[in-house]
């Protein structure tokens, strides 16, 4: 009979997990068996503890059967706490899981409930009538229900915040993409205009040479050469999006008297999606340019973006005048505009790096800030 009951419980759990939580049958069976095994172990420990430590030769159990119910509630809350801890340390990480601080605060509820129920069981023998026993029972039951309610309440709040954060991320990605496409479009129009004017430059040079005005022709060539050199794409990675971003930011840095040193190679086989590349490069280089603008002396940006040993290596280093404050996976920026976007750029980068199973290192030493990323190819 007991085996049949346990089988029905496991079967019911499998059905619920399969249809409600949309978990595969195989995983549902494994989780159901693990839950049942954990419940049996905790129930056994609670029963042994109650008989050997708390109860006195079963005197109270003979008077009121509710003490057994308290033990059951105690064991179920203990199982609940075990599941929470297993989920915390072995579950998949996502933006919807509770942060460490909230986990620490929430775990107070099940721990407090367990301690309270233990105290109730230990003092159960002093109850004078069944009414008092019922009061203790309903208090313990209420505490158990409160734990479940508080967990789902906090989880819903965190989920809502995660969705709001995701919306902010999408908004920032959209803004970065619009800015980048606008820059690409402007560069294209400038190049188109220069190409149209190139014929006129050739005709002018030809006229000067025919008139033997060699000095004027030489001066004219130098002038237009400086113009073309300042506008041509100096960075080529064999990747259209990366080229557009790096060359745009390179020109922006040069125009602000920032030394831009770079090392790149063939990035045509990169596995990162275009929209993610825009977020990573735009945020890193925007932050680097902003930091360099505040430097009074040395203004330098060093970029390394290569594929080597089947790894994507991206590193951006820049000089900075003030120490960068980094805590809780967030850089405390000094931006005065759009305060609601503070730190989101760096968080987006970290989220994308984790999306591709990569690693990152943030350093700030000797007035130089660096953000390095390694992603497997």
Q: Which helix (H) or strand (E) holds 314?
A: strand 311-319
Predicted local confidence at residue 260, as pLDDT: 92
248 with 144, same domain? no
Predicted local confidence at residue 265, as pLDDT: 92
Structural domain containing residue 147: 2-164
145 with 16, same domain? yes
Tens-place pLDDT, residues 174-186: 776 676 666 666 6
248 with 149, same domain? no
CB neighbour list of residue 362: distance below 8 Å, 6 or more residues apart: 326, 331, 370, 371, 372
How many Cβ atoms are within 10 Å of 139's Cβ, its own excluded?
A: 14
115 with 22, same domain? yes
Predicted local confidence at residue 359, as pLDDT: 93
Query: What pTM, to 2 d.p., does this model score?
Result: 0.50
What's the rounded Cα separation, in Å, for the pair 274 and 255? 26
Between the two ends of the chain, the Cα-to-Cα distance in Å is 56
What's the rounded Cα separation, in Å, for the pair 42 and 46? 6
Q: 172 lies in a domain?
A: no
Predicted local confidence at residue 196, as pLDDT: 67
Q: 122 lies in a domain?
A: yes
19 with 111, same domain? yes
21 with 155, same domain? yes
Q: Of 164, 195, 226, which closes a domain?
A: 164
What's the rounded Cα separation, in Å, for the pair 315 and 246? 13
What's the rounded Cα separation, in Å, for the pair 376 and 359? 9
Predicted local confidence at residue 337, as pLDDT: 47
Residue 238: alpha-carbon gap to chain centroid: 29
Q: Which of 68, 149, 159 is nearest to 113 (CA)?
A: 149
> pLDDT (tens digit, 0 to 9) for every residue of the chain, 377 residues total?
657 766 776 777 777 767 766 677 777 777 777 777 777 777 777 667 666 655 544 444 444 556 667 777 777 788 777 777 776 666 554 444 556 676 777 778 788 888 887 787 777 766 777 777 778 778 888 888 888 787 778 777 777 877 777 777 667 667 766 766 666 666 666 666 766 677 777 888 888 888 888 888 888 888 777 665 555 567 889 888 888 888 888 888 998 999 999 999 999 889 898 888 888 998 899 889 988 988 888 899 999 999 998 999 999 999 988 766 655 555 555 554 444 444 557 878 888 999 999 999 988 887 889 999 999 98
For residues 46 and 78, the answer to whether their CB atoms sit within 8 Å is: yes
362 with 265, same domain? yes
138 with 250, same domain? no
What's the rounded Cα separation, in Å, for the pair 46 and 356? 45
Alpha-helix residue ranges (DSSP H) falling in the chain:
2-19, 25-49, 59-63, 66-90, 100-106, 108-123, 130-210, 214-231, 240-255, 274-293, 344-355
62 with 154, same domain? yes
Q: 178 lies in a domain?
A: no
Q: Of 105, 140, 164, which closes a domain?
A: 164
Q: Which helix (H) or strand (E) holds 305?
A: strand 300-308
| Residue 237 phi, psi (nearest 5) | -115, 5
18 with 99, same domain? yes
For residues 283 and 333, the answer to whether their CB atoms sit within 8 Å is: no
Predicted local confidence at residue 327, as pLDDT: 56
Predicted local confidence at residue 61, as pLDDT: 46
> Which domain CATH number covers 262?
3.30.565.10
376 with 259, same domain? yes
What's the number of domains the chain is made of?
2
Length of the chain: 377
Q: Which helix (H) or strand (E) holds 264?
A: strand 259-264
Q: Within 13 Å and on the Cβ side, how many CA atoms surround 38?
A: 17
What's the rounded Cα separation, in Å, for the pair 299 and 291? 9
Q: Of 164, 197, 215, which closes a domain?
A: 164
Predicted local confidence at residue 194, as pLDDT: 65
Q: 69 lies in a domain?
A: yes
Q: 123 lies in a domain?
A: yes
Q: 327 lies in a domain?
A: yes
351 with 242, same domain? yes
What's the rounded Cα separation, in Å, for the pair 12 and 6? 10
Partners of 373 in the beta sheet? 314, 360
Predicted local confidence at residue 374, as pLDDT: 94
What's the rounded Cα separation, in Å, for the pair 344 and 168? 8
């Amino acid at each position: 009979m007991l085996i049949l009951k346990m089988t029905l419980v496991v079967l019911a759990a499998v059905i619920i997990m399969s249809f409600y939580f949309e978990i595969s049958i195989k995983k549902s069976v494994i989780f159901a068996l693990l839950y049942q095994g954990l419940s049996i172990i905790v129930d056994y420990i609670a029963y042994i503890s109650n008989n050997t430590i708390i109860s006195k030769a079963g005197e109270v159990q003979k008077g009121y059967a509710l003490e057994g119910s308290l033990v059951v509630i105690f064991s179920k809350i203990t199982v609940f706490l075990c599941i929470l801890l297993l989920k915390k340390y072995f579950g998949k990480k996502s933006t919807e899981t509770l942060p460490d601080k909230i986990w620490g605060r929430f775990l107070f509820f099940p721990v407090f409930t367990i301690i309270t129920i233990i105290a109730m069981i230990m003092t159960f023998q002093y109850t004078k009538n069944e009414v008092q026993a019922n009061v203790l029972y309903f208090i313990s039951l209420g505490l158990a229900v409160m734990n479940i309610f508080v967990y789902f309440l906090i989880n819903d709040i965190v989920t809502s915040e995660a969705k709001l954060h995701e919306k902010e991320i999408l908004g920032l990605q959209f803004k970065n993409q619009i800015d980048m496409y606008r820059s690409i479009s402007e560069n294209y129009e400038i190049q188109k205009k220069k190409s149209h004017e190139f014929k006129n430059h050739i005709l002018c040079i030809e006229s000067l040479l025919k008139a033997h005005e060699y000095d004027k022709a030489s001066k004219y060539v130098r002038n237009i050469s400086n113009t073309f050199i300042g506008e041509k794409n100096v960075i080529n990675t064999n990747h259209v999006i990366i080229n557009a971003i790096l060359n745009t930011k390179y020109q922006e840095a040069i125009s602000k008297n920032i030394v831009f040193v770079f090392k790149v190679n063939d990035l045509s086989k990169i596995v990162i999606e275009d929209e993610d590349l825009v977020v990573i490069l735009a945020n890193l280089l925007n932050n680097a340019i902003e930091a360099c603008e505040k430097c009074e002396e040395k203004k330098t940006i060093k970029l390394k973006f290569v594929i080597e040993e089947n790894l994507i290596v991206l590193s951006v280093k820049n000089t900075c005048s003030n120490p960068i404050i980094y805590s809780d996976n967030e850089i405390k920026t000094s931006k005065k505009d759009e305060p609601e976007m503070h730190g989101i750029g760096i968080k987006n980068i970290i989220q994308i790096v984790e999306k591709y199973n990569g690693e990152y290192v943030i350093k700030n030493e000797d007035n130089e800030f660096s953000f390095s990323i390694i992603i497997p190819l």
